[in-house]
Amino acid sequence: NNYMVFKGTLEEYLFVSEIVPERMYMFNKDLKTGLSVIWNIGTKAEFIIDSQPIAVKKDCFLFLTSFHTIQKIEFEKLRVIQFNQPFYCVENHDSDVGCKGLLFFGASTIPKIRIDHEEKKQFELIWKVLEMEIEQKDDYSLEMLKSLLKRFLILSVRKYRQQNLDINEDSKAIGIIREYNFLVEKHFKTKTTVAAYADMLFKSPKTLSNFFKMHIDKSPIEIINNRRLLEAKRLLKYSKIPIQEIAEELSFSDVQAFSNFIKKHTNKSPTFIRDN
């Protein structure tokens, strides 16, 4: 039935499955934990994730974390790989895989790659072996599955870099940008200035700003603001937390400052976002 889950003794969790629309409920249940790779193998799929419409062609992948909220999804057939922190910690293995801040936890955009016919053969092969290995259920399964997942992620990172980053110029700068994105993902509720992150990275704000100019179309402060905005919108839409408390949680000095921030970036008031 292509519905496969590996559960280890230390709560390690890996889910590998092909999904058709009738099995949609699995998204609502299973995508709440850990990290997900969604591979569209049908005709074009349409998502709305965190209020952002995303069209996904055949043989495109999306990389999501439990921070993302899928509001709507129309598709023919998807493959989903999902794993939690105990199964494979992206943070600890970053030197092996390099996907932290690229495929996962990359500030406010949703990473996407598209593979061609030749590359597809490699991914297909890993997919088949993942399915076979999940059925084995023996002492070697965990290590085998981890190494297969790692290979899958490395191929994805390689592709992502080709498609999204001018990587040859200065991979050190790219490393810093990724690290910055990752730190923002961890600390955006409490650290709200570029200087705070510059300190953590032992760089000056100016150096950071130059790295960003060279390689991506966002400034360091935009990454912080986009992340805080995303969280603010989520809390306004999907929680009952009072606006005052949301402002405090995101380290705004008061409700007025929070309200001004939201208005500046959306032209709407927090109350309007909550009620609509």
Name 236's Cβ contacts closer than 8 Å, sequence gap at least 6: 243, 246, 270, 273, 274
Q: Which of 86, 101, 103, 95 is nearest to 36 (CA)?
A: 103
- Is-contact 32 66, C-beta < 8 A? yes
The model's confidence at residue 170, banded by pLDDT at 50, 70 and 90, is low
Mean pLDDT, rounded, of the chain: 85
Which is more confidently placed, 68 or 47? 47
Cα–Cα distance measured from residue 147 to residue 153, given in angstroms and rounded to the nearest whole number: 10
Q: What is the pTM of this model?
A: 0.66
Q: What is the mean pLDDT of the segment spanning 171-178? A: 73
- The band of 46, judged by pLDDT with boundaries at 50, 70 and 90, is very high
Q: How confident is the model at residue 76 (pLDDT cuts 50, 70, 90)?
A: very high
For tokens 């002492």, the residue is: 139
Alpha carbon 143 to chain centroid, angstroms: 24
Residue 20's SS3 state is coil
Residue 258 has a CB neighbour count (10 Å cut-off) of 22
Residue 94: predicted pLDDT: 56
Higher-pLDDT residue of 79 and 182 is: 79
The pLDDT tens digits for 254-263 are: 999 999 999 9
Question: How far is Cα 268 from Cα 136, in angstroms, rounded to an integer?
Answer: 54
C-alpha–C-alpha distance, residues 192 and 227, integer Å:
10
Alpha carbon dihedral 220, 67, 265, 241, in 10-degree steps, equals -130
CA distance from start to end of the chain: 40
Long-range contacts of 67-73 (CB under 8 A, 24+ apart): 67/185, 68/110, 69/234, 69/238, 70/27, 70/31, 72/46, 72/47, 72/48, 73/24, 73/27, 73/45, 73/46, 73/47, 73/48
